[in-house]
Structure 1
């Protein structure tokens, strides 16, 4: 089948940092599935402001096959085409930030180009997968033989979007009325969407893992050499999800272990709350292909996330990557980790969490990788799209 996809992240982000997010993992898995034909990825509108701020290149990697005004269609892989819109509305994006995307996606010029791209690609019976609540107006206006909304993380629980609560609530409500098939990555989200937006048909589609994540030649990262072992590592964004009090407890309770954090610092307030003891190291963000070497180097991997009302009902991709690298994994009870309790240590107190870090002994069974591969998740998604 031919599939239109509206991901959350800009394709440029993946080109720069590596293809590591749920949306692009699905795109690449769908592109490699035998039941898929071609994918038209509808990229986030962008202005010069964002290009400069994030250090992105204007031109996507690949060959431009169609162009009209400020819109281009680029073939980035054998069967993946990316529609891109370079907007001149720098002032609008600067003033409204994320709210700007809601209308920018839906601008007539971009919609017309998307239809022209579908005509060029001969997408006569295309399906639509949207993974972006900010593009709800566009998703509802596009014609498709079936539409699926992958409502992965619940954006109404993200503090950074609290000022857009009414806009997001309207988007979820509109999507609930107009798109019958939903997917999400946690049972908590399923309950939330059913209770708050009367969603009737929603499937649990948890995150997967890139099966070759831990393959390839191992290269010991140079910035680990000066750090004392054992290495207790976290690979991911420093965001509001992180339990700074738990991190401070375990770093104090395990003074002979080194706590290593690899990833972007998104929430400076959380970062500032983490005590920078001599055994706590922040190594910054790493390209996705290099990040695997850090995971393979760690002695124990952790997911020290908030629980109860402070969690967001997500499903940690890093946990699957840790398990693929055959690491002992210790996490908190929430954010979907409880579903992995056969494979990881899920602890509900700082004391129990810390106790698991004092030994490398791992009595948990191995994760059946093929059942959790992105390709297997894509198979499930294709069945939903084909209903």
Structure 2
């Protein structure tokens, strides 16, 4: 879902957190991370500029005109290529040679990317047969506004994944509807890096330190799913509160809609290291997302990260996790959302904060990946001499 260079620049998402856990596991010998495959020429140019031409983050162990593999650590090598947009055959031929060069014998394929499923058969033809094929379904891409022109392809690919994958993880129970082989389906929601979000800060950045409390905050990319009309309603009906949006604005119309509101503040993108400091300044955290076919398939990481800071959460999307439901005020109705926001501020207490922090302990990325490994090892135990 993101390139390694984007992760290094501070972008964090599910596959980044899973990768971190895998790299720290003694059960994993080595990983070849294949960067986000370009599905448009614009993305291919970006990959070439940022991943092929840029200064490498480690030792270059393979290089061609369109590709590069960089050894980041003893365990991790990152392969970036624009071949997928030019020739799938050449891409998989090159990937196969790289697997041989790096001495991958039997291996597990672990994919997050539903825009291509060619690896199910192309690597087999090259003699690079994976011993297990894992797909991690993060949202329903066929309903994502940015991928609607690929909807038919994505739906066909989900059917192929359903037929070919040995294990299908998913962030949300709604995603089960994409797959018919329910015995392969395992719900593994998102989580939080608890140690990261529970750090203490002695210095507060001026951009938020000078904003009048109470601060109602949102952290994330301001894009299609963000309900600007709801935020406008909340701001106008709570003029004594400050509404702070931390994250890049991808939809210019959203900024324009909210620009005239004196109690709405856009603070822009912040690094992953800075985000907990901002969260700790919030009196309550909100997730004002629109409810549609795409967002119904989401499992916002924000819920876990907000709770990892001990904060009250008010959201248009609830959670299916029973132990977290008491700590998430959920409503798709504007008036009720506004009432929940005021209730959250009024009801907040040291005891509630302690209860939120206690509840989130069971939802760390470490526990999520441990669950994934349980499933994978059960599958591997049924394979004669898997020798991973």
**Fold shared per TM-score above 0.5:** yes
Counterpart Cα distance in 2 of 1:198 and 1:385: 16
For residues 189 and 284 of structure 2, what CA distance do their matches in structure 1 show? Answer: 23
Deviations 1:275-313 (A, max 9, x none): 641001111111111122111221211111122546341
Q: Structure 1 residues 219-228 or 347-356, which shifts more?
A: 347-356
2:75 to 61, 76, 79: 79
User: How far apart, in 1, do the equivalents of 2:369 and 2:181 lie?
Assistant: 26
Out of 89, 107, 111, the residue aligned to residue 108 of structure 1 is 89
**Which segment drifts farther, 60-69 or 125-134?**
60-69
How much has 1:61 moved relative to structure 2?
1.0
For residue 156 of structure 1, the aligned residue among 142, 149, 153 is 142
- Superposed CA RMSD in Å reads 2.7
Q: Secondary structure at the match of 2:68?
A: strand
Report the equivalent of 2:57. 61
Answer 1 or 2: higher relative contact order, Cα 8 Å, separation at least 6: 1
Give the C-alpha shift of residue 108 in structure 1.
2.9
Deviation at 1:125, TM superposition (A): 1.6
CA distance in 2 between partners of 1:338 and 1:274 (Å): 35
Q: Report if aligned partners of 1:51, 1:58 keep a CA contact under 8 Å in 2.
A: no
In structure 2, relative to structure 1, the CA distance for the partners of 1:86 and 1:187 (3 Å cut) is closer
**Alpha-carbon distance in 1 for matches of 2:141, 2:322:** 21
Structure 1 position 376 matched with structure 2 position 357: no
With normalisation by structure 2, the TM-score equals 0.84
Q: Distance in 1 between matches of 2:78 and 2:188?
A: 25
Evaluate the alpha carbon distance shift between residue 11 and residue 203 of structure 1 in structure 2; reply closer, same or farther with a 3 A threshold: same
Tell me what 2:338 maps to: 354
Separation in 1 of the partners of 2:119 and 2:55? Answer: 23
2:199/2:276 contact within 8 Å kept = no
Q: Return closer, same or farther for 1:300/1:214 CA change in 2, 3 Å cut-off.
A: same
Corresponding residue for residue 11 of structure 1: 4
The C-alpha deviation readout for 1:234-280, integer Å capped at 9, x for no partner, is 00011222222221221111100000001122233444444641001
Q: Which residue of 2 aligns with 1:90?
A: none
Match of 1:30 in 2: 22
Provide the residue aligned with 1:193 in structure 2. Answer: 178
Secondary structure in structure 1 of the residue aligned to 2:72: strand
Give the match for residue 384 of structure 2. none
Gaps of 5+ in 2: 124-128, 380-388
Confirm or deny that 1:180 pairs with 2:184.
no
Task: Answer yes or no: is the 8 Å Cα contact 2:3–2:35 preserved in 1.
Answer: yes
Which of 345, 356, 363 does residue 366 from structure 1 map onto?
356
Please identify runs of 4+ aligned residues in structure 1 that moved more than 6 A: 52-57
CA pair 338-257 structure 1, distance change in 2 beyond 3 A? farther
Write the distance in 2 (CA, Å) between the matches of 1:129 and 1:13: 19
SS of alignment partner, residue 119 of structure 1: helix
What residue in structure 2 maps to residue 95 of structure 1?
none
Query: Is the aligned partner of 1:170 residue 2:160?
Result: no
